[in-house]
């Protein structure tokens, strides 16, 4: 069974009196354990599609099933709770909370889970170890390089052990070397930890890491 199962999804924005169709009849199935790269020109709807999969946006019509749940059936609150258990987010600009240390950032999603303080710290440190930054646990984001920040963000994405990771241009703001390291880390997460990854990227070298490349153009999957 596919962990992501999207059927006939349309997303339409209304700007002034104009209708803008951003996604136009998307059908997409991603089997569990897959590493998919979503490519396409700017404005083609990649981020919009990723947001639907991640449950932070809703389609105008069509069905989005992720990890066995029809997201359209969930209320706002239930959807938030669903996200905290099922999806890990990796952003282009890392989006770490600047006033929290690395380990506190990683702990954030665990605040939504019933767990003792010590357990939380332990889990967060384990996640930091996975990304190779255990020694930077007490550093603030501003004390880290871009690549290190993104690794902390990845630790935050995996700390609740979600089934699906969504990444929107995770290497878009990094130099080649750091990008390389991040991609290797994501490959590891996919291979060793069996995470299903949906990654939006412009970078062909990044896309090569994925098992499958899908192309989006003007709101339609072309390949």
Partner 1 sequence: MALPLTYNIRSLVVRWKVTLLAIFGIGCVVTVFVVLLAMLAGFRLALRSTGSPDNAIAVQRGSGSELTSFFSGEAADIIAADARVARAAGDGAPLVSREIVIIANLPRRVDGAPTNVTIRGVSPLAFQVRRGLRIVKGRTFKPGLNEVIVGQRIGERVRGLDIGARLSVQKRDWEVVGHFQADGSSFESEIWGDLDVMAPAFQRTGGQNSMTVRLADPATLKAFDETVQADPRFQIRLVQEQQYYEDQAGPVAGSLLALAGFVALVMGTGAIFGAMNTMYAIVAARTREIGTLRALGFSRLSILTAFVVESLFLGLAGGVLGCLLSFAANGYTTATGQTSSFSELAFAFKITPANVTAGILFALAMGFLGGLLPAWRAARLMITSALREA
Ligand X SMILES: Nc1ncnc2c1ncn2[C@@H]1O[C@H](COP(=O)(O)OP(=O)(O)OP(=O)(O)O)[C@@H](O)[C@H]1O
- Establish how many alpha carbons lie within 13 A of residue 120's alpha carbon, considering only the half-sphere containing its beta carbon: 16
With respect to ligand X, which residue has the nearer C-beta, 40 or 109?
Answer: 40
CA-based torsion, 63, 64, 68, 69: positive or negative: negative
For 199, the 3-state DSSP assignment is strand
The count of chain residues that interact with ligand X, using the rule CB under 6 A, is: 12
Determine, following the binding rule CB under 5 A, whether residue 126 of this chain makes contact with Mg ion: no
Determine, following the binding rule CB under 8 A, whether residue 97 of this chain makes contact with partner 1: yes
The token duo for 73 is: 């059936």
Q: Which does 7 bind (CB under 5 to 8 A by kind): partner 1, ligand X, Mg ion, none?
A: none
Closest separation between CB of residue 89 and partner 1, Å? 5
The token duo for 143 is: 């004390």
| Binder of Mg ion out of 2, 24, 47, 91 (CB under 5 A) | 47
| Binder of ligand X out of 6, 28, 36, 44 (CB under 6 A) | 44
Element (H, E) at 181: helix 176-192
Give the span between the Cα atoms of 106 and 100, in whole angstroms: 9
With respect to partner 1, which residue has the nearer C-beta, 156 or 214?
Answer: 156
Q: Which stretch, 94-102, 170-178, 182-190, 215-223, contacts partner 1 (CB under 8 A)?
A: 94-102
Look-up: residue for tokens 């996640």?
Answer: 127
Determine, following the binding rule CB under 6 A, whether residue 48 of this chain makes contact with ligand X: yes
Closest separation between CB of residue 150 and ligand X, Å? 17
Determine, following the binding rule CB under 6 A, whether residue 220 of this chain makes contact with ligand X: no
Determine, following the binding rule CB under 6 A, whether residue 204 of this chain makes contact with ligand X: no
- For 108, 120, 121, 138, the CA distances from 125, given in Å and listed in that order, are 12, 9, 6, 10
């Amino acid at each position: 069974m596919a962990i992501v199962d999207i059927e006939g999804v349309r997303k339409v924005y209304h700007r002034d009196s104009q209708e803008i169709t951003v996604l136009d009849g998307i059908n997409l199935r991603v089997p569990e354990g897959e590493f998919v790269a979503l490519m396409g020109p700017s404005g083609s709807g990649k981020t919009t599609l990723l947001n639907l999969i991640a449950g932070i946006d809703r389609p105008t019509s069509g069905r989005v099933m992720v990890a066995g749940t029809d997201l359209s059936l969930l209320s706002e609150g239930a959807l938030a709770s669903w996200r905290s258990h099922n999806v890990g987010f990796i952003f282009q600009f890392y989006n770490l909370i600047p006033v929290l240390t690395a380990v506190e950032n990683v702990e954030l999603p665990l605040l939504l889970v019933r767990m003792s303080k010590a357990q939380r710290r332990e889990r967060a440190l384990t996640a930091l170890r996975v990304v190779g930054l255990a020694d930077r646990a007490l550093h603030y984001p501003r004390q880290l390089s871009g690549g290190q920040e993104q690794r902390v963000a990845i630790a935050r994405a995996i700390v609740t052990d979600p089934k699906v990771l969504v990444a929107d241009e995770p290497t878009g703001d990094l130099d080649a070397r750091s990008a390389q390291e991040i991609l290797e880390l994501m490959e590891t997460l996919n291979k060793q930890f069996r995470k299903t990854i949906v990654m939006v990227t412009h970078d062909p070298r990044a896309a090569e890491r994925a098992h499958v490349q899908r192309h989006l153009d003007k709101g339609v999957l072309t390949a």
